[in-house]
């Protein structure tokens, strides 16, 4: 391919290496006259939006520009990975914007969890980090739950303005937009891509009936989520797709839990107590004695302790220490994987996760 080949649709430089990046085109499609990138191809032929990623600096410039427009901003986040779906810098650039927060993947939560409680939790979490959304809507794009509420909220809030949709990768933004498109399909109209002024980002414009547009922006990647470090096959194991069945472990001190070979949880000291794990039902949890943990890990990682099925590129595990007091129910959150509820009684805990993946403590969500 010559260096100059560009997509007819969005103008991105064509490349055949990385399907997640702008301008990706499968080798075979290059034979065509006037090739377009896969994303534009899908938009043209299937009216379907696919996700691409962007580098952080370019993305921040885009946020800044959006913040300067008079528009409605819809921020899509993953309810199951709220910390991991926070867009770095969003509070700096969009704090003054009219903002609707759509928290996706509600289907993963046990039915017993009250929606109102979750909604308030999301609102408080956003406010603590410096954003005050006008509305918080919980939905499931994949299951089609509460999509009508998302659409109604956007319609009510936008008051004749454009709508920008932002989010990190993997939160389900494309799934949601495709869902909205399908619901609104009757209105027709042609979806187009266009480069966003002053950036190399291309955005997708979906016309609304009053001449305004719903503008989908590329997702930004957060490297500090475990989900960004594993292979696509492993991703299918760790990203939950069905309602989570919490797994409860009654542990004595000096016991260890391995979450595949990705994360290690040591209950170092404290009275016997339960720890409740909210992770994908498909992720294997292995219990062992703490004194044996190093040996078990070096002997079984990648096999019994899997995912990851391959370790190349995955940073070494690093330890973080947590001390919880009795009755202080807390979630120990591993971005991109899930969380463990602890603190029924006093406990000292060591969490081991790949370097660069910060384990967070928050008041228990459930």
Note the residues at the interface with ligand GDP (CB under 6 A): 51, 104-105, 107-108, 140-143, 167, 169-175, 219, 239, 241
Is 71 in contact with 163 (CB distance < 8 Å)? yes
Nearest distance, CB of residue 140 and ligand GDP, angstroms:
4
Nearest distance, CB of residue 193 and ligand GDP, angstroms:
15
Residues 6 or more apart whose Cβ sits within 8 Å of residue 64? 93
- Which residue minimizes CB distance to ligand GDP? 172
Nearest distance, CB of residue 215 and ligand GDP, angstroms:
15
Nearest distance, CB of residue 236 and ligand GDP, angstroms:
8
- Rounded to whole angstroms, the Cα distance separating 336 from 308 reads 14
Nearest distance, CB of residue 112 and ligand GDP, angstroms:
17
252 alpha-carbon distance from chain centroid? 34
Neighbours of 96 (CB within 10 A): 9
Nearest distance, CB of residue 175 and ligand GDP, angstroms:
3
104 vs 255 by CB, closer to ligand GDP? 104
- Rounded to whole angstroms, the Cα distance separating 173 from 184 reads 16
Residues 6 or more apart whose Cβ sits within 8 Å of residue 238? 226, 227, 230, 260, 262, 279, 280, 282, 283, 307, 336, 337
97 vs 140 by CB, closer to ligand GDP? 140
SS (H, E, C) 112-148: CCCHHHHHHHHHHHHHHCCCCCCEEEECECCCCECHH
178 vs 288 by CB, closer to ligand GDP? 178
105 vs 264 by CB, closer to ligand GDP? 105
Q: What is 314-365 written as a DSSP string? A: PPPEEEEEEEE-TT--EEEEETTTEEEEE-SS-EEEEEEEETT---EEEE--
Nearest distance, CB of residue 104 and ligand GDP, angstroms:
5
Is 83 in contact with 360 (CB distance < 8 Å)? yes
108 vs 131 by CB, closer to ligand GDP? 108
166 vs 213 by CB, closer to ligand GDP? 166
Strand partners, 145: 140
- Rounded to whole angstroms, the Cα distance separating 174 from 169 reads 9
108 vs 341 by CB, closer to ligand GDP? 108
Q: What's phi and psi for 320, nearest 5 deg? A: -125, 140
């Amino acid at each position: 391919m010559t260096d100059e080949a560009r997509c007819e649709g969005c103008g991105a430089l064509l490349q055949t290496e990385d399907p997640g990046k702008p301008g990706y085109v499968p080798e075979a499609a290059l034979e065509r006259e006037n090739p377009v990138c896969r994303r534009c191809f899908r938009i043209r032929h299937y009216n379907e939006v696919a996700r691409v990623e962007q580098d952080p600096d370019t993305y921040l410039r885009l946020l800044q520009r959006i913040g300067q427009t008079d528009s409605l901003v819809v921020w899509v986040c993953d309810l199951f990975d709220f910390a991991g779906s926070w867009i770095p810098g969003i509070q700096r650039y969009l704090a003054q914007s009219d903002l609707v927060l759509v928290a996706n993947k509600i289907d993963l939560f046990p039915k017993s969890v009250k929606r109102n409680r979750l909604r308030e939790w999301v609102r408080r979490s956003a406010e603590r980090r410096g954003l005050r959304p006008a509305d918080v809507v919980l939905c499931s794009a994949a299951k089609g739950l509460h999509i009508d509420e998302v659409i109604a909220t956007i319609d009510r809030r936008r008051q004749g303005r454009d709508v920008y949709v932002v989010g990190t990768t993997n939160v389900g933004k494309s799934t949601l937009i495709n869902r909205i498109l399908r619901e609104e399909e009757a209105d027709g109209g042609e979806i187009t891509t266009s480069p966003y002024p002053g950036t190399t980002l291309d955005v997708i414009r979906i016309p609304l009936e009053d001449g305004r547009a719903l503008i989908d922006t590329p997702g930004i990647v957060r490297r500090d989520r475990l989900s960004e470090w594993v292979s696509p096959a492993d991703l299918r194991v760790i990203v939950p797709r069905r309602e989570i069945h919490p797994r409860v472990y009654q542990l004595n001190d000096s016991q260890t839990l391995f979450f595949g070979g990705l994360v290690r949880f040591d209950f170092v000291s404290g009275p016997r107590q339960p720890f409740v794990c909210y992770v994908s039902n498909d992720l294997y949890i292995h219990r062992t004695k703490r004194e044996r943990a190093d040996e078990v890990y070096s002997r079984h990682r990648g096999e019994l302790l899997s995912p990851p099925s391959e370790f190349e590129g995955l940073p070494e595990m690093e330890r973080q220490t947590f001390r919880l007091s009795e009755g202080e129910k807390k979630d120990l959150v591993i971005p991109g994987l899930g969380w463990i509820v602890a603190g029924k009684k006093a406990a000292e805990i060591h969490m081991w996760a790949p370097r660069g993946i910060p384990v967070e403590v928050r008041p228990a969500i459930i």
